[in-house]
Amino acid sequence: MTIPIDPDAQVSPELSEVMSTLVNNPDVPEPVTLGTVRRVLRHSLDSEDLEEAPKIGLEETLLAELEQLIEEYGEDALASEFAAASASDLLSELIEAILERSDEDETVALGDIRDAVDQGLLAELEGEGLIESDDVQALVAELDALIERYGVELPAEDLLRMD
């Protein structure tokens, strides 16, 4: 059963980043659950670190925020359902390049990005020196993973990294 979760309303950006890092780490066994995130946070934060962890609200730490999520959704809930998605810097650059080439009032969805890739856009951008040939496979894999998770209709602009 999938739990309908709005990550932006449920999870702080700091905890979302921790979850995304674990979900996207190939060395972390899947599935990455809230319990997995809790074990990693507990392991990486000793009692001194907890006091210095980024504060959520006025007095809660990341671990306290995570404990609230576990209380509400259970430790077996998938962390990927809570982590806000964002494209990597490289995929964000690709999305921006496509947005620049499209009409201002046109919504560019993930499926449109995939179609452009299939039609040779990455080779074109590589020829222009905007991307490296070593990055092509990773870009395609990231794009396909986002499509699998969110579908082809998600506006690509929603995933732009705002660093």
> Of the residues 61, 81, 101, which one is the last residue of a structural domain?
81
In a domain, 102, yes or no: yes
For 55-90, the pLDDT digits (tens) are 444 335 788 889 999 999 999 999 988 887 778 888
Same domain? For 119 and 153 the reply is: yes
In a domain, 110, yes or no: yes
What per-residue confidence (pLDDT) applies to 8?
A: 46
What per-residue confidence (pLDDT) applies to 59?
A: 33
In a domain, 1, yes or no: no
> Of the residues 81, 103, 118, which one is the last residue of a structural domain?
81
The rounded distance, in Å, linking the Cα atoms of 155 and 159 is: 8
In a domain, 125, yes or no: yes
In a domain, 21, yes or no: yes
Same domain? For 75 and 93 the reply is: no
Tokens of 48: 């001194």
What per-residue confidence (pLDDT) applies to 26?
A: 75
Residue 119, domain extent? 89-159
In a domain, 146, yes or no: yes
What per-residue confidence (pLDDT) applies to 9?
A: 52
Q: For the chain, how many structural domains are there in total?
A: 2
Regions of the chain short of the pLDDT cut 70:
1-9, 45-60, 161-163
> Of the residues 50, 81, 112, which one is the last residue of a structural domain?
81
The rounded distance, in Å, linking the Cα atoms of 52 and 132 is: 39
Dihedral sign for Cα 104, 116, 17, 31, please: positive
Same domain? For 18 and 62 the reply is: yes
3-state secondary structure of 84: coil
The rounded distance, in Å, linking the Cα atoms of 142 and 52 is: 33
Same domain? For 18 and 58 the reply is: yes
What per-residue confidence (pLDDT) applies to 35?
A: 94
